[in-house]
């Protein structure tokens, strides 16, 4: 079972560049989440979605955008990358809001 | 006040010890709580859900105290392989909010 798949696993961006972090799940989960984790810190919620066509901001949405055109996919877009966006990005999904969330393996992003 | 707060540790314990972590939450409306485990540079994985009646899974016991708004995780007979960061998670509306994590180091 694939579960939650994130691509790429690693990426180096230059300041001002843009990129899309891909996330796909094959469990037919309604809820999907994007978190970032800075070194030695906890996970901070960037955006989340409760179903196709519905997205909402989390704790730290500035500098990011998301879309949810299908149940399976929840890409995260970084516009005008900044060094402050250097982090590990985790995508997760859950059946509904009160159930276990499954995580992808993460994308390690460095902005230089 | 943060929605979910944990003591960051680290907790350094010998093999075989019993160790307990607490986590406090600020929103009494939260319905669901979880403990996740995160190994270094890896994704978080569910350790156990936390129920009002408490639950046990082998050496791990989780408790929820709604009156005092905290949850706890007890690990008995600690193993070297238990060394990790333990994340407390609360459900707030449609969001899952993570604590910053508690570091456990089990030493031989």
Residues 63-82 of B with CB under 8 A from A: none
For the stretch B82-103, pLDDT in tens is 999 999 999 888 899 999 999 9
As a whole number of angstroms, the distance between CA B55 and CA B66 comes to: 15
Residues of B in contact with A97 (CB under 8 A): 32, 91, 93-96
Which of B34, B94, B100 is opposite residue A42, by nearest beta carbon? B100
Tell me, yes or no, if A105 comes closer than 8 A to chain B by beta carbon: yes
Tell me, yes or no, if B95 comes closer than 8 A to chain A by beta carbon: yes
Which residue in chain A is spatially nearest to B32 when comparing CA positions? A98
Q: Is B52 helix (H, G, I), strand (E, B) or coil?
A: coil
Contact B97 A45 (CB under 8 A): yes
Give the residue from A66, A63, A73, A94 showing the smallest Cα distance to B34: A94
As a whole number of angstroms, the distance between CA A90 and CA A65 comes to: 15
For the stretch B42-78, pLDDT in tens is 999 999 999 888 899 999 999 999 999 999 999 999 9
pLDDT at B10: 95
pLDDT at B29: 79
Tell me, yes or no, if B42 comes closer than 8 A to chain A by beta carbon: yes
As a whole number of angstroms, the distance between CA B11 and CA A106 comes to: 26
Contact A56 B99 (CB under 8 A): no
The whole-chain average pLDDT of chain B stands at: 93
pLDDT at A19: 97
Digits of tens for pLDDT over chain A (112 positions)?
A: 689 999 999 999 999 999 999 999 999 999 999 999 998 888 999 999 999 999 999 999 999 999 999 999 999 999 999 999 999 999 999 998 878 999 999 999 999 9
As a whole number of angstroms, the distance between CA B35 and CA B72 comes to: 9
pLDDT at A1: 67
Residues of B in contact with A44 (CB under 8 A): 98
Distance of CA A55 to the CA centre of its chain: 12
**Rounded to a whole number, what is the distance in Å from the CA of A37 to chain B's nearest CA?**
10
Q: Which residues contact A62 (CB under 8 A, 6 or more apart)?
A: none
């Amino acid at each position: 079972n694939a579960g939650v798949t994130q691509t790429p696993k690693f990426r180096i961006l230059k300041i001002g560049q843009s990129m899309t972090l891909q996330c796909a799940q094959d469990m037919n989960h309604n809820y999907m989440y994007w978190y970032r984790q800075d070194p030695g810190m906890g996970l901070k919620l960037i955006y989340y979605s409760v179903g196709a066509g519905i997205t909402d901001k989390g704790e730290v949405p500035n500098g990011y955008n998301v879309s949810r055109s299908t149940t399976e996919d929840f890409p995260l877009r970084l516009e005008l990358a900044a060094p402050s966006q250097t982090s590990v990005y985790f995508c997760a999904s859950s059946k509904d809001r009160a159930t276990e969330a499954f995580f992808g393996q993460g994308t390690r992003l460095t902005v230089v | 006040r943060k929605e979910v707060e944990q003591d960051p540790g680290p907790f350094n314990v010998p093999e075989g010890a019993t160790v307990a972590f607490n986590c406090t939450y600020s929103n009494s409306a939260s319905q669901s709580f979880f403990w996740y485990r995160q190994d270094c540079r890896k994704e978080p994985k569910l350790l156990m859900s936390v129920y009002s009646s408490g639950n046990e899974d082998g050496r791990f016991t989780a408790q929820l105290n709604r009156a005092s708004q905290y949850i706890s995780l007890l690990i008995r007979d600690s193993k070297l392989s238990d060394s990790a960061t333990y994340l407390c998670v609360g459900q707030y509306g449609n969001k899952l909010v993570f604590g910053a994590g508690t570091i456990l180091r089990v030493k031989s």
